[in-house]
Amino acid sequence: MTLKQQLTEDMKTAMKAKDSLALSTIRLINAAIKQFEVDERTEADDAKITAILGKMIKQRKDSAKIYTDAGRQDLADKENAEIEVLNRYLPEMMSAEEISAAVQAAVAETGAAGMADMGKVMGVLKTKLAGKADMGEVNKAVKAALL
């Protein structure tokens, strides 16, 4: 079952269960997918949908931090609840140890010796870890490995 089909089924389930949070979040996901398909004039596959979900999660994390800093915990809680719904559709994220192992392998593969080679390492990792790991965490791990 593709992600689009899964989203459709989950939307029906959320409607029947009167789960307004899941329903509204799934509708936002579907709107983002439709927007991509209209803009790019192509069908969104699971990889692209995963990228869209990652972007949506990043936006909500940023918003939640801003709301928390501004003292609006109610709005931050809503953003965090949406993040939980979005995470249901992403593949299992890699642990810090798995990220570290992937970084070490990429450093060895590219022969990177210092920070000047960071672009090479990130280029290799971006293709291997897309949708499986938070690229911000990967970036930190690469910096630590190359220093």
Q: Where residue 134 falls among pLDDT bands split at 50, 70, 90?
A: confident
Distance CA 104, CA 108 (A): 6
Mean residue pLDDT of the chain comes to: 91
CA distance readout (Å), 22 to 73, 129, 130: 20, 27, 25
Q: How far is CA 11 from the centre of its chain?
A: 20
What is the CATH classification number for the domain harbouring 100?
A: 1.10.10.410
Q: Are residues 45 and 110 in the same domain?
A: no
Comparing C-alpha atoms, which of 6, 12, 26 is closest to residue 34?
A: 26
How many domains, the chain?
2
Q: Are residues 19 and 64 in the same domain?
A: yes
Q: 40, 60, 87 — which closes off a domain?
A: 87
Q: Where residue 16 falls among pLDDT bands split at 50, 70, 90?
A: very high
Cα torsion at 44, 47, 49, 53 (round to 10°)? -160
Kindly report, residue by residue over 92-123, the tens digit of the pLDDT. 888 888 888 999 998 888 888 888 888 888 98
Distance CA 58, CA 86 (A): 11
Q: Are residues 141 and 102 in the same domain?
A: yes
Domain range for 12: 3-87
Q: Are residues 81 and 101 in the same domain?
A: no
Residue 91: pLDDT above 90?
no
Q: Are residues 81 and 100 in the same domain?
A: no
Task: Give the DSSP H/E element, type plus range, for residue 29.
Answer: helix 20-40
pLDDT, greater one: 120 or 77: 77
Distance CA 138, CA 136 (A): 5
The pLDDT of residue 63 is 96
- Check: CB of residue 11 under 8 Å from CB of residue 85: no
Q: Are residues 47 and 14 in the same domain?
A: yes
Q: Are residues 11 and 52 in the same domain?
A: yes
The pLDDT of residue 129 is 83
Q: What is the pTM of this model?
A: 0.74
The pLDDT of residue 90 is 87
Q: Are residues 33 and 54 in the same domain?
A: yes
The pLDDT of residue 77 is 96
The pLDDT of residue 54 is 86
What is the CATH classification number for the domain harbouring 54?
A: 1.10.1510.10
Amino acid identity for residue 32 in this structure: A
Residue 131: pLDDT above 80?
no
- The CA R_g of the chain, rounded to the nearest whole Å, is 18
